[in-house]
Amino acid sequence: MTGPAPRRVVGEIPAYVPGARPSSAPAHKLSSNENPYPPLDGVREAVARAAADVNRYPDMFAAPVVEAVAARHGLTPAWVVAGCGSVAVLGHVLEAFCDAGDEVVHAWRSFEAYPIAIALQGAVGVPVPVDDAGRHDLPAMAAAVGPRTRVVLVCTPNNPTGPAVHAGELERFLDAVPRDVLVVLDEAYVEFVRDPDAARGLDVLRERENVVVLRTFSKAYGLAGLRVGYALAHPDVAAAVRTAATPFGVNHLAQVAALASLEAEEALLARVEAVVGERRRVLDGLRAQGWPVPDTEANFVWLPTGRRTVDLAADAAAHGVLVRPFAGEGIRVSIGSPEANDRVLELAATWR
C-alpha cells in the first residue's frame, strides 16, 4: 500500500475486545460488567426531556455535573474533570503527563484499555504481574518505577480479577513512589466495594498532590450507554488534564442523566446492594463447586479456566450466557439478574 501510513504503533496496538453482544436469541449479557437494571424512570424522563435541546452544544466542561460531583465528595469544582467515560479521561491524563518514550507502570492482567491508551500516547507500558490471587503486587510496582516513569495505574478493584487494593499497602506504596510520579487510582467499581480494609482514593487524595482518582457513571449508576466519567485530582493536576480534554466531551444527554442519577443516588445504591448480595451468592456457589475464584469487590467474578477458556465461553454462549473470555487465562463473568446468575452457577457446575 502506498497511501498515508499511520504511526507504526497504531498497527501494533491489540484491538480492544468488547464484551459479546446478543445476536438474536435472548441472552444474558454478562460480558461487559454493565448494571443489569434498566435506567430509573426519573433518569429516563430527564434524558427524554433533554432530547429537545440537542441542537445546542452541551456545557463545554460539564460544569453542572462537575459541581454536583464536587459537592458530593466535599471538594471544590477545581478538583474535578469530567469526560466521555473514564477511559477517555485516562487518555487525557496520559496526554497531559506523558511524552513519547515515558513509562507507565501498571498491573497485568488488568484493564485491557490500559496498554492501548499507553501505546497511543507513544508511552511505554511496564506491566507488573498480579499475584496468584489476582492482586496487585504493589511492592513490585514501586520497584518498577524508574527515571522515565511518569504515571502508575492502580486498578482497584482490579478488572478482570476482582480484588481491591488495601489501605495499608496503598499508603506504603504512595510513600515509596516519588512525588513527581502520578498515581492513578482507577475506581470504576468503588461503589461495589464492601471490604472495610479496602483503599479509598478519597482518603489519600487531599494530602497527595500526585494522586488522581478515576470514577465512572457506567457501572454502579447504570449509564454505560451515555459515556460519562471523571477524574478527581489536585487543582493543578486537574487543570492540566482539563487542557487535554476533548471540548464538549460529555454530551448533553449524558450530563442530564448524570445529574438525575446523583439526585436518585439512594435508589441506585439500593440496586448496587442487590448486586453485591448476588455477588456473594455467586462467589460462594462457585467456591462450593471447587473453583478457586479470587476475592472480588467488583460486579464480576473471575474463573481461572486456563486452556479451556475459549471453549467454555463458547459453551456458555450456546446456553444463552455471554461472558468475557481472556484466551488461555480465564473468564470474567459479570453479576447479572438472579436468573442469569443461576444459569452461571449451573453452567460452572457442568464445567467442573
Ligand X SMILES: *Cc1c(COP(=O)(O)O)cnc(C)c1O
The residue among 85 and 115 lying less far from ligand X, judged by its C-beta, is 85
- What's the N-to-C CA distance of the chain in angstroms? 49
Stretch near ligand X under the rule CB under 6 A, chosen from 123-131, 144-152, 212-220, 243-251: 212-220
How far is the C-alpha of 101 from the C-alpha of 20, rounded, in Å? 34
CA 203 – CA 232 distance, rounded (Å): 12
Q: What are phi and psi of 127, to 5 degrees?
A: -75, 135
Footprint (CB under 6 A) of ligand X, residues 285-324: none
Measured distance CA(52)–CA(241) in Å, rounded: 31
Q: Which is nearer to ligand X, 93 or 155 (CB)?
A: 155
- Residue among 31, 121, 159, 341 that touches ligand X (CB under 6 A): 159
Other Cβ atoms closer than 10 A to 244: 16
Using the contact rule CB under 6 A, the part of the chain among 37-45, 167-175, 215-223, 253-261 near ligand X is 215-223
- Smallest distance from the beta carbon of 234 to ligand X, in angstroms? 21
Question: Quick one: which of 36, 163, 229, 285 contacts ligand X (CB under 6 A)?
Answer: 229
* Residue 108 near residue 127 (C-beta atoms within 8 A): yes
β-strands 103-108, 149-155: how paired?
parallel
Between 188 and 303, CB nearer to ligand X: 188
Output the CA torsion sign for 84, 115, 298, 38: positive
The reply on whether position 170 binds ligand X by CB under 6 A is no
Please identify which residue in 218, 251, 255, 261 interacts with ligand X, judged by CB under 6 A. Answer: 218
Instruction: Count the site residues for ligand X by CB under 6 A.
Output: 14
Chain residues 177-196 in contact with ligand X, contact rule CB under 6 A: 186, 188
Residue closer to ligand X, measured from CB, 248 or 351: 248
CB of 318 to ligand X, least distance (A): 26
Using CB under 6 A as the binding rule, whether residue 155 contacts ligand X is answered as: yes
98 to 127, contacts with ligand X by CB under 6 A? 111
DSSP labels for 3-66?
Answer: SPPPPHHHHHSPPP-PPP---SS--EE-SS---SSPPPHHHHHHHHHHGGGTTSPPPTT-HHHH
Mark 18-57 with x for binding to ligand X (rule: CB under 6 A) and - for no binding: ---------------x------------------------
Please enumerate in sequence order all residues whose Cβ is within 8 A of that of 56, keeping only pairs 6 or more positions apart, or say none. Answer: 252
